Amino acid sequence: MGSRGASVRSVTMAVLYARHAPGTLKASVMGLVDDEVTLVMTDIEGSTSLWEWNDKVMDQALTIHDSILRSMLGKHYGFEVTTEGDAFTMVFHDAIDAVHWALATQIALLQAPWPSPLLEHPKACEEWYEGEDGSHLLFRGIRVRMAINTGKPSCVSAHKVTRQLEYSGSVVELTEALTSLPSGGQVMLGALAAERVAGRLRDIVLMSSHKRRRLDAMRHVLVSGDISLLDGS
């Protein structure tokens, strides 16, 4: 391998070895093809109509959206695979890290400093949830749907230009299919991802109990498989 190739490999491996605990991406770059990964794909609900409504406001909003999604990756041991328009693909070694990232990102999107005109649009305005303990903010700003799916990719390769790792196979195809099912603000888990986090969702701690209550009101985790897996019953 030439010096350039060795340098690229070293940088890539530095990212992969960022966590030395459960969830570490332990395999070599070439060995990842034999390893199970968890993919997360995201998409903004109603983005076409929002762009047609006001492209300048949406340009600002997309910058905020992109920054939030990327800023959460380091905290939850994932990295960006691809982005196309407002759609992202992220990869994690441990499904629970992917769930942590998705839920923390949804909270961050709820609290983001969105442009005021955006919050006047029906697809981005504030919506409130009336619970037994009072009103809670349910939606605010652009609404992002997310699909989380676990499996073994049939192929892992480095992009010829960007050198970022690319994945292919049924795990990618199923994740793409799942992404079209949830509404904005919802997170959908594939069956194997649900198995991998079975009994572990209670370990998720998001800041304070107040924010956690707001999260419970906001999220809808839809599972393809046995829903009892979510609470470990």
Reported as a single tens digit per residue, the pLDDT across 73-90 is: 988 999 898 888 899 999
Nearest to 91 by CA among 82, 14, 100, 133: 82
**Token pair 């070694």 is at which residue?**
93
Residue 12 has a pLDDT of 34
- Lowest-confidence range among 25-29, 110-114, 136-140, 203-207? 25-29
DSSP state of 159: -
Q: Which one-letter amino acid corresponds to residue 20?
A: H
Reported confidence tier of residue 204, pLDDT bands at 50, 70, 90: low
Asked if residue 14 has pLDDT above 90, the reply is: no
- Give the Cα separation of 135 and 29 in Å (integer): 48
Q: What tokens appear for 4 in the block? A: 């350039």
Q: Do the Cβ atoms of 137 and 214 come closer than 8 Å?
A: yes
Which of 197-201, 222-226, 228-232 is the most confident on average? 197-201
Q: What tokens appear for 13 in the block? A: 């491996």
Q: Is 137 helix (H, G, I), strand (E, B) or coil?
A: strand
Express as a percent the part of the chain with pLDDT over 90. 39
CA distances from 25 to 129, 136, 139, 172 (A): 39, 37, 34, 18
Q: What tokens appear for 8 in the block? A: 């690229």
Q: Return the bridge partners of 58, or none.
A: none
Residues 6+ apart with CB under 8 A from 103: 187, 204, 206, 215, 219
Asked if residue 189 has pLDDT above 60, the reply is: yes
Scanning the chain, the segments in alpha helix (DSSP H) are: 3-16, 47-53, 55-71, 95-110, 170-179, 191-196, 209-218
The better pLDDT of the pair 4, 135 is held by: 135
Q: Which one-letter amino acid corresponds to residue 112?
A: A
Residue 206 has a pLDDT of 45
Q: How many residues does the structure list for the chain?
A: 233
Q: Return the bridge partners of 147, or none.
A: 41, 188
The better pLDDT of the pair 30, 146 is held by: 146
Please count the CA atoms within 13 angstroms of the CA of 87 that sit on its side-chain side. Answer: 11
pLDDT digits (tens, 9 = 90+) for 39-60: 999 999 999 999 999 999 999 9
Reported confidence tier of residue 29, pLDDT bands at 50, 70, 90: very low
Reported confidence tier of residue 138, pLDDT bands at 50, 70, 90: confident
Residue 17 has a pLDDT of 38
Residue 135 has a pLDDT of 82
Residue 51 has a pLDDT of 96
- Give the Cα separation of 207 and 218 in Å (integer): 16
